[in-house]
């Protein structure tokens, strides 16, 4: 059984920073990619950032230059460094992993940015 455990969410003022972590555990044979999505109230879930097994990344236009995704393959962990946070970044952030040819989701962590 595979689990994704997220941490690092919270409340921060606009302009501040937060770092999210997501660790995958269990019977892991291959990880093709890991990333972060978010869902704000009344909106659809959207991709924030993603990193593939070859190290390539992609970001939502709204976070480019402010957020950085990274991955520690030895720990099966993905990080999202979020700088210059804005109130519109407020959402539940979900970790996603494409591993063992299956899609897994974390439970979500709340990020709230106050103005």
* pLDDT tens sequence across 6-18: 999 999 999 999 9
Name 114's Cβ contacts closer than 8 Å, sequence gap at least 6: 11, 12, 13, 14, 87
* pLDDT tens sequence across 53-107: 999 999 999 999 999 999 999 999 999 999 999 999 999 999 999 998 899 999 9
What 3-state DSSP class applies to 1?
coil
**Tokens 């455990």 identify what position?**
5
Q: CA 7 to CA 11: how far, in whole Å?
A: 13
Q: Which residues of 83-96 are buried (b: 16+ CB within 10 A; e: fewer)?
A: eebeeebbbbbbbb
* pLDDT tens sequence across 53-64: 999 999 999 999
Percent with pLDDT over 90 in the chain? 94
The pLDDT of residue 35 is 97
């Amino acid at each position: 059984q595979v689990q994704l455990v997220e941490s690092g969410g919270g409340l921060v003022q606009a302009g501040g920073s937060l770092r999210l972590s997501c660790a995958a555990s269990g019977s892991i044979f291959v990880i093709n990619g890991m990333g972060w999505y978010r869902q704000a109230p009344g909106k659809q879930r959207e991709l924030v950032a993603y990193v593939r097994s070859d190290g390539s990344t992609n970001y939502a236009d709204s976070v480019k230059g402010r957020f950085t995704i990274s991955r520690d393959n030895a720990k099966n962990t993905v990080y999202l460094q979020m700088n210059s946070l804005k109130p519109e970044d407020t959402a539940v952030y979900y970790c996603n992993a494409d591993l063992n040819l299956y899609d897994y989701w974390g439970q979500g962590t709340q990020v709230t940015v106050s103005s």
